[in-house]
Amino acid sequence: MASSTGSRGTTKVERILRDSGALLEGHFLLTSGLHSPYYVEKFHVLQHPRHTQALGRLIADNFRGAGAQVVAGPTTGGVIVAYEVARQLGVRSIFAEPGDQGRVFRRFTLAPGEKVLVVDDVLTTGGSVQDVLAEVRRCQGVVVGVGVLVDRSDGVDLGVPLFSCHRMRIPTYQPQDCPLCAKGLPFTKPGASA
């Protein structure tokens, strides 16, 4: 597994991920349908308020001058990240839930022209974030950027400024090309009940 930390060693963010047990090794079936030998279990980090506060501060500090009036995230982990970043920016926090087509702000309203910072926990394909961006735009909000705890994508273009607390290059495979499957190793679907 490669990370963006370069030769200087482990970054503070990577240390938080490792110390909290969030970086898992094995054979994982991701939500995207891809397979991977590594998984970032964000809830191992988000269960610790001090870690969530430290990572939220990185996102908040990066977007402090962007004029965000609202911080929005997708359910489930994005709710916690949105709340903490909003708390540090002194603005309100909302979340988008799954709807018939994408995600929707069921419990909240967004005024036309409101400036919104969209946040999430782990960016892989960008699907959840894209859904929140679409809902903000449907409500005529103005997106000021996207902040994530971990960017494990391969350079997803969201069309807005993107900040990640940590960037990791983690291999993923189509099921038919997965070397772990070829070895006969059973996979785990993170978040699924046993």
Where are the domains positioned within the chain? Answer: 2-182
Helix axes 77-89 and 49-63, enclosed angle (nearest 10): 60
Contact indicator for 81, 120 with CB cutoff of 8 Å? yes
Q: How far apart are CA 188 and CA 176, in angstroms?
A: 16
CA distances from 120 to 46, 176, 184 (A): 12, 29, 33
Q: How far apart are CA 153 and CA 32, in angstroms?
A: 12
What is the tens place of the pLDDT at every residue in 22-58? 999 999 998 778 899 999 999 999 999 999 999 999 9
Q: How far apart are CA 1 and CA 92, in angstroms?
A: 36
What is the tens place of the pLDDT at every residue in 93-105? 999 999 998 999 9
Q: What are the residue ranges of helices labelled H in the chain?
A: 12-19, 43-46, 49-63, 77-89, 127-138, 179-182
Q: Which residues pair with 129 in a beta bridge?
A: none
**Does the domain made of 2-182 have the CATH classification 2.60.120.10?**
no
pTM metric for this prediction: 0.88
